[in-house]
Homo-oligomer: A and B are copies of this chain.
Amino acid sequence: MKIKEIGEFGLIQKIAAMLPPPHKGVTMGIGDDCAVFELSNGKLGLLTTDMLVEGVHYSKEFATPYEIGWRAMAGNLSDIAAMGGTPRLVLISLGVPEITKVSWVEDLYKGMSELAAAYGTDIAGGDTVTSSQGVLNIVVWGEVEPSQTGYRSGAKPGQALLVTGDLGGSHAGLEILRRKLQLLPEIKSYPVEKHLHPVPRIEAGRWIGAQIDHGALTDSSDGLGRDLKNLAEAGKVGFRVYLDKIPVHPSTCKVAEMLEKKPTDFALQGGEDYELVFTLSQEGLAERLIDFEKQTGVKATVIGEVLPPEAGIQLQDAQGNCQTLSGFGFEHFSLQSKVSLSNYLLN
């Protein structure tokens, strides 16, 4: 059996099944945005890692080394945000051909270092090796109070479903770069910026974790559709999503139109937005979201509600028509199409 026959998720399931159960003190192994484990001071340690391969996850053609570094760091810090945590320390492994310019590597580190420094996070080591294909692996270590930790499994029926910022922008930016779309600068700049310089929602994650009624929390790295499936599975719940409530930036809508796609498809399938997807109880929500925006500088939008598991994931349009997510064409999330989505960069 080849990996391509079972896909990335199939492979992860197989690996998870063969590993011994984690020891006491490991609160979360495989299955959330970070590994979570007890520290003897009562706090929880968070550990996350991501591997980016040249030609699959980044391309020297469409992004400067600074931008590649920034995006890679944003993706990892976002996993800490998705637990409600604070990032503390970063290790970086880099594999590049020996003929790579030193200045290219320095610019890559500059992108990573500037974003990490903005959150008081230190790059404290790593590994540099020779490889024919470029590869970048980032590890982030963070901390969080146990009561403020946001797991994927926390959603409770009756809670509101929310997202920060807007969705689909990163995918729109990628399409602009890949297809060299001719657009006015005022249309182009937002999605391209969102793709090349995403900002992890660290402050937002901490605000959410600090709400005593916080439910589920994750980050939108593979598209809202995938996120909802993850939250539904982990929390044994269902969702109703109001498609017209999903925040999509006007420029993202323009790009979707140009490509004859629905803007919500970009939001549901696009990925790499690094926004937070979370649930909170409805009490006093409107006032709390005003406080949220004031504290974090980011808007949060209610896009639906948590239902019992038997409801599945319902996507309801403005006319009240409902589709379930599984009937919505989500074979997109097999390894092949995920890779081919990323491979847009290569075409």
Give the interface of A toward B (CB within 8 A): 1-6, 8, 11-12, 14-15, 18-20, 22-23, 25-26, 28-31, 34-35, 37, 39-43, 45, 47-53, 55-57, 88-89, 91, 93-103, 105-106, 109-110, 113, 117, 120, 122-133, 135, 137, 139, 141, 335, 339
Q: Known contacts A3-B100, A91-B49: does B37 contact A40 (CB below 8 Å)?
A: no
| Residue in contact with A39 in the complex, picked from B41, B125, B132, B339, CB distance below 8 Å | B41
Contact check, A22 vs B124: say whether CB atoms are below 8 A apart.
yes
Question: What are some 23 contacts across the A-B interface (CB < 8 A)?
Answer: A1-B101, A3-B98, A4-B98, A14-B106, A15-B109, A19-B123, A22-B122, A22-B124, A29-B123, A29-B124, A30-B124, A35-B89, A47-B141, A48-B91, A48-B125, A49-B137, A51-B93, A51-B127, A56-B129, A127-B137, A131-B133, A133-B135, A141-B141
Among the listed B20, B97, B117, B141, which residue makes an inter-chain contact with A20, where contact means beta carbons less than 8 Å apart? B117
| B47 in contact with A91 (CB, 8 Å) | yes
Nearest CB in chain B to that of A338: its residue: B130
A135–B100 contact, CB under 8 A?
no
> Contact: B49 with A106, CB < 8 Å?
no
| Closest 7 pairs (CB-CB, A-B) | A41-B41, A35-B124, A51-B93, A4-B98, A137-B137, A53-B131, A29-B124
Contact between chains at A95 and B135 (CB < 8 Å):
yes
Chain A contact surface mostly: mixed
Q: Which residues of B contact A97 (CB under 8 A)?
A: 3
Give the contacting residue for A51; candidates B1, B20, B120, B137; CB below 8 A.
B137
- A124 interface neighbour in B8, B37, B339, Cβ under 8 Å: B37
